[in-house]
Every structure is written in C-alpha cells, then in structure tokens.
Structure 1
C-alpha cells in the first residue's frame, strides 16, 4: 500500500514501512518497532538504533497504515 502525504510517500507492507520524504530522505522500520499515536496522527519508530517519528496529514492516513500493518492506534 502507498499513502501520499504532504511530506512524501509512505510505502507499507505487512512486515515493514518505508517513508520516502520529498527532500530525498528515506526512513525505514520493521512493524515490531512501530507505534501509532492518535494525538497528532504520529507514526513512531523506536527499536535498536532506529528512532524517528512522522506526523501524517490526518487520522485517516494513520488508520489506513495501522490497518495494513495490523497494529492498534494508541
């Protein structure tokens, strides 16, 4: 699944997420390292040496990603 947002694209598979920002930067995380936060529509990656967060445009984008990954939104 590919979700377009104002800062680029989020490419989601059942095991991983790849974020390609408009600036050319790419962010990667495995599903086990991801959390979805409803406050601010934020996707957080935190595992090992990976630490980043991304604010999405709206709650629908967050819900679509969470559904595809099979994880709950906090």
Structure 2
C-alpha cells in the first residue's frame, strides 16, 4: 500500500514501513512492531531501541489508515 504525504511517500507492507522523502534520497524504514502512532500530534513514531525517528502526518485520515493497516491503536 502506498500513501502520499506532503513530504513524500509512505510504502506499507505487512512487515515494515518505508518513508521516501521527496526532497532527499534518504529512505527511512521501521519494522511494523516498532511503529507507534500519537493521535494528538498526528505523529508516526519509529522506536527500535537506539534508532528513533518521527514523522508528522498531514491529517487524521493518514493516521487512521496507518492504524488500520498495522492494527495499531493510536495513543
């Protein structure tokens, strides 16, 4: 599944999520089990121990789509 957001594209599959930024060749990856969603700030949080990053989503619809795809309850 692909989701576009203002900064690039999210590529979802059952095991991981990739973030491809349109302004950079950087690709950020997180395993599905390391995904958290913060509803109040519309944030996608990747927390894999020593590696952590976060991404602001454009709207609540994107947050809900991620939550449904990965079966994650937003905090």
Aligned residues: 74
CA deviation string 1:21-54 (max 9, x = no partner): 1122111000111100011210000113321000
State how far apart, in whole Å, the 1-side matches of 2:67 and 2:13 are.
11
State how far apart, in whole Å, the 2-side matches of 1:50 and 1:34 are.
12
CA-CA distance at 1:65 after TM superposition? 1.1
> Residue 72 of structure 2: SS of its match in structure 1?
coil
Residue of structure 2 equivalent to 1:36: 37
Task: Write out the 4+ residue segments of structure 1 that deviate beyond 4 Å after TM superposition.
Answer: none
Tell me how large the CA RMSD over aligned residues is: 0.9
In structure 2, runs of 5+ residues without a counterpart are none
Q: TM-score, normalised by structure 1?
A: 0.93
> Residue 63 of structure 2: SS of its match in structure 1?
helix
**Greater RCO structure (CA 8 Å; 6+ sep):** 1
Residue of structure 1 equivalent to 2:60: 59
